[in-house]
Amino acid sequence: MSLRVAVQMDPVLGINIDTDTTFLMMLEAQERGHKLWFYTPDKLSLEDGRVFARAQPLEVFAEKGAHAKLGETVVLDMKDDIDVVLMRQDPPFDMAYITATHFLEKIHPHTLVVNNPAEVRNAPEKLFVTDFPGVQPPTLITSDHEAIYDFRARHGDIVLKPLYGGGGSGVARLLADDPNLDALLELHAMIGREQVIAQKFVPAVSKGDKRVLLVNGEPVGAINRVPAEGQVRSNLRVGGRAEAVALTARDLELCKIIGPELKRRGLIFVGIDVIGEYLTEINVTSPTGAQQLKRFTGVNAAAVLWDHIEDIRRNGG
């Protein structure tokens, strides 16, 4: 089977091929004989009900400094010319991101979009997790400053983070007597009108923030992301350190709780964040961690993903 695959992502020439999950996905697809095109989200268009992308044919190579060869730009009819779209641009989950999901919804599932664009839009990563009672630490989502002060008075040590951020951006820990809460809330208000998240601080984060990857609702494996000394953020892009880790009984329990809903929604490639006993986020936009998982365990989440995509296409989905 040879599939025509368009990858919607951030600029391909700027990625780190040692850590980028999308690169592993593209390399795996190419090795299976699938043909690749690359485009950035701003090159997507909707005209008279049809979706087009100004894209470039792409070849990828496991060679630093020469990892991508791009061809001449062509205009793709995303329904007729493409079999699979990988929607892999990074957040922020803003109106441009949401608009792209509306465009891609018009071609899915005739052209398989991974993940289902309507469900990506309906499952903001820090909101979606609230659909599953009892899996989160105490959490408040609001723009009401008085509610946030009341939450901190009840829970003490908290973490404050933007609702639609990503990669650890804007995450801050506030102790019970920290005088900077007003200033941080003012900064969030200057950035936008979106609500913020206040969450009870989980001390277990010092031992790591586990990223579990799931394909079609089933766990594939996990890595641990350990924050740098004196830091609260464990995201790899802000200095966290990746290390090998095994799935615990609690991890598997959390996957069992959310897995059926991921499958029902067509959220095929998902990364969840687990701190201690708690599930903190369900990442459906462009989850990372597959490179580290393969390096530590030999498990290739990209191969599991392409096995599933090929089964869908083979069975007419």
Nearest to 166 by CA among 135, 120, 222: 120
Give the dihedral sign, CA 91/169/261/316.
Answer: positive
Distance CA 218, CA 130 (A): 20
Distance CA 83, CA 307 (A): 15
Distance CA 191, CA 151 (A): 22
Distance CA 120, CA 217 (A): 15
Active site residues: 126, 161, 211, 225, 233, 273, 281, 283
Which H or E run contains 272?
Answer: strand 269-275
Joined together, the tokens standing for residue 115 give 């993940």
**Pairing label, strands 112-114, 84-87:** parallel
Give the alpha-carbon dihedral of 265, 266, 271, 273, to 10 degrees: 10
Name every residue whose Cβ is closer than 8 Å to that of residue 162 and which is 6 or more positions away in sequence.
Answer: 169, 170, 188, 191, 194, 196, 197
Instruction: Please say whether the beta carbons of 213 and 222 come within 8 A.
Output: yes
Instruction: Please say whether the beta carbons of 27 and 12 come within 8 A.
Output: no
Give the dihedral sign, CA 70/309/28/92.
Answer: positive
Distance CA 158, CA 155 (A): 7
**Residues β-bridged to residue 225:** 209, 242
